[in-house]
Amino acid sequence: MKYDAVIIGSGQAGSPLAAKLAKVGWKTALIEKRWVGGTCVNDGCTPSKTLIASGRRAYLARHSAALGIQMPAPVVDMAAVIQRKDRIVIAKRARLEEWLRKTDGLDLIIGTASFTGDKKLTVHHPDGTSTEVEGEFIFVNTGASPQIPAIEGVNDTPYYTSTTIMDLKTVPDHLVILGAGYIAMEFGQLFRRLGSQVTLLERSAALLNKEDDDIAGELKNILEMEGIKIRLGTAVTKASRLADGKIELTLSSNGTSQTLTGSHWLIASGRLPNLRELKPERAGIVLTEKGFIKTDDRLETSVKGIYALGDVREGPAFTHISYNDYLVVSRNLLDKAGLSVQDRLVPYCMFTDPELGRIGLTEKAAREKGRRIKVAKLSMTQVARGIETGETRGMMKAIVDEETHEILGASILAPHGGEIMSVLEVAMMGKLPYEKIRDGIFAHPTFSESLNNLFMTLDNA
């Protein structure tokens, strides 16, 4: 079957791109091996944030006495927590699939795609049959999956990934997490709040090395205050399963070796692109050293007419970036917009509590680039809304160009940190000087209003 466009993977770039091209008259095929919606709907954003909401309710119930509300200790019904998550995921997936199937000019094909040549594919269906597909344009949006490190005994020891742990219907007694990145932080706090003992193991000596030390240190303190144990400079060299079903990990730290026992083991140490079955080499597609699809700044691969979008290419692995990839590609193809991903702003949010909302340069990155900067900082203990709600953990930080006064970046570790950060993102999009935020009128009392005070700290610097 020949198409104008073939999209492989129905993630946050693939689905809207398929619908958009079909609506403008392109004969379009969307190939999905499992469920529509990609990682975000099925294994990432939707289910994890649904579970995190349950964890927060348990946390608030335990700490209500500080606000004068006496409550019995919460009882976590993990099966019910998972059922709620499943209902939300299934409903969202169903709405998306209905929309795709009702789109004229779009064929939704369920199966696993493999390149057989230049812009030619075989799709292997679940029933054992196959279909040959060819497209003038090919768009790869196959995403990424958890990476399992080569640790002695790992294949003989039960472990969970960020995908499988979201189906766990009992609360672990002791959850040991390999890694201390964004995924590990979110799941660590979630399960601690649901009642687990939690230990995070991180090979590097620093936490969240892409963030500034003060932000990472503040978050570390917050998690440790909740009872999470964080062990830095610690590598796992061996894993085994004990007779009682528990897992035992051999750890190496500062030249010494010791063991750690836990009831459950979560591996959250990175992700790899989903390319094994696709076999991109058959189409002549060049990969990066890390095995991701290599693209130019307009997301075209080494093969003209074949594009890669989302986590399958090397770059920021966020749902909203995947969606922006769709906008870049569709506008360039349909509107000749000439858009590039080269210098786009990359906001992101880590959904710990408090959230870490991030945009632009950190202080560390700005100084490494030789930028002349001013740094604004504000503790959440000085934020009126935080004091009123009893949420004073965290801090706000912004990086400002010393000459132009434009905002270069921000780290907002605060309740609704992602929403507060977005105010500064809009300011950065408009290249506004920080004084516009400092002197702006915000509704009182809100967390965003405290951005006035954040930038007032520069007046006293």
Residue pair 198/192 in contact by the 8 Å Cβ criterion: yes
* 431 among annotated binding-site residues: no
Residue 415, φ and ψ in degrees, nearest 5: -55, 135
* 185 among annotated binding-site residues: yes
* 387 among annotated binding-site residues: no
State the Cα–Cα distance between residues 198 and 264, nearest whole angstrom: 10
Closest to 409 (Cα-Cα) out of 435, 376, 452: 376
DSSP states of 239-274 as a string?
EEE-TTS-EEEEEEETTEEEEEEESEEEE-S-EEES
Closest to 212 (Cα-Cα) out of 411, 371, 375: 411
Q: Which residues contact 4 (CB under 8 A, 6 or more apart)?
A: 21, 26, 27, 28, 135, 136, 137
Number of H helices, E strands in the chain: 12, 21
Residue pair 223/185 in contact by the 8 Å Cβ criterion: yes
* 325 among annotated binding-site residues: no
Q: What burial class does residue 369 get, using C-beta atoms within 10 Å of its C-beta: 0-12 exposed, 13-18 middle, 19+ buried?
A: exposed
Which element (helix H / strand E) includes 145? strand 144-146
Tell me the catalytic residues: 444
Residue pair 55/193 in contact by the 8 Å Cβ criterion: yes
* 210 among annotated binding-site residues: no
Residue pair 433/404 in contact by the 8 Å Cβ criterion: yes
* 281 among annotated binding-site residues: no
Q: Which residues contact 153 (CB under 8 A, 6 or more apart)?
A: 238, 239, 240
State the Cα–Cα distance between residues 451 and 460, nearest whole angstrom: 15
Contacts 24+ apart (CB under 8 A), 438-443: none
Residue pair 187/179 in contact by the 8 Å Cβ criterion: no
Rg (CA), the chain: 24
**Tokens 């979110």, residue?**
186
* 248 among annotated binding-site residues: no
* 311 among annotated binding-site residues: yes
Q: Which residues contact 95 (CB under 8 A, 6 or more apart)?
A: none
Helix, strand, coil shares, percent, the chain, to 5:
35, 25, 40
* 180 among annotated binding-site residues: yes
State the Cα–Cα distance between residues 129 and 259, nearest whole angstrom: 49
Reading the block at residue 23, the tokens are: 């609506």
* 159 among annotated binding-site residues: no
Which element (helix H / strand E) includes 422? helix 417-429
Report the binding-site residues: 49, 179-186, 202, 270, 311
Report the binding-site residues for FAD: 49, 311
Report the binding-site residues for NAD(+): 179-186, 202, 270
